[in-house]
Amino acid sequence: MGAPVTVTSPDAAGPVQEVAEEETPAVTRPGRFRPSPLGWVPRLVVWAVIAWVVLIVPLGHSAIDLQDFTRAVCYAIVALSLNVLLGYVGQISLGHAAFVGIGAFMSAYMVTTQGQSFWIGVLAAGAIGGAQALVLGGVSLRIRGLYFALVTLSYGLVAEENIFQIESFTGGGAGQQAPKPQWFESEWRYYYLCLGFLAIVLLLDWRLMRSKGGRALLALRENPRVASTFGINVRIATLFAFVVSGVIAGLAGALIAHNDLGVSATTWNFNLSLVFVIMTVVGGLRSRYGLVIGGAFFALMPYFLEKIPGLDNALAKIPAPFDLTPELAPLVVGPLLLLLNLIQFPGGIGQQLRPIARWLGGHRFDLHDRGLKEVQITDVRA
Q: Looking only at residues 16 through 45 of this chain, which bind other proteins when binding is defined by CB under 8 A?
A: 29
Per DSSP, the three-state class of 200 is: helix
Cβ-proximal residues to 340 (8 Å cutoff; 6+ apart), any chain: none
Using the rule CB under 8 A, is 142 a contact of other proteins? no
Using the rule CB under 8 A, is 225 a contact of other proteins? yes
Please pick, from the candidates 38, 56, 63, 375, the single residue that binds other proteins as defined by CB under 8 A: 375
Cβ-proximal residues to 223 (8 Å cutoff; 6+ apart), any chain: none
Q: Looking only at residues 169 through 208 of this chain, which bind other proteins when binding is defined by CB under 8 A?
A: 203-204, 207-208
Using the rule CB under 8 A, is 233 a contact of other proteins? yes
DSSP 90-124: ----S-HHHHHHHHHHHHHIIIIIS---HHHHHHH
Residue nearer to other proteins on the CB measure, 110 or 237:
237
Residue nearer to other proteins on the CB measure, 317 or 368:
368
Cα(253)–Cα(177) distance, integer angstroms? 14
Min CB(29)–other proteins separation in Å: 7
Using the rule CB under 8 A, is 226 a contact of other proteins? yes
Please pick, from the candidates 21, 167, 323, 374, the single residue that binds other proteins as defined by CB under 8 A: 374
Cα(284)–Cα(348) distance, integer angstroms? 4
Min CB(181)–other proteins separation in Å: 24
DSSP 36-84: -HHHHHHHHHHHHHHHIIIIIGGGGS-HHHHHHHHHHHHHHHHHHHHHI
Using the rule CB under 8 A, is 229 a contact of other proteins? yes
Residue nearer to other proteins on the CB measure, 66 or 244:
244
Using the rule CB under 8 A, is 381 a contact of other proteins? no
Residue nearer to other proteins on the CB measure, 66 or 237:
237
Please pick, from the candidates 26, 166, 212, 261, the single residue that binds other proteins as defined by CB under 8 A: 212
DSSP H helices, 141-186, are: 145-161, 167-170
- Residue 176 phi/psi, 5° resolution? -120, 140
Q: How far is CA 33 from the centre of its chain?
A: 29
Residues making contact with other proteins (CB under 8 A): 5-6, 29, 144, 203-204, 207-208, 210-216, 218-219, 222-226, 228-234, 237, 240, 244, 373-376
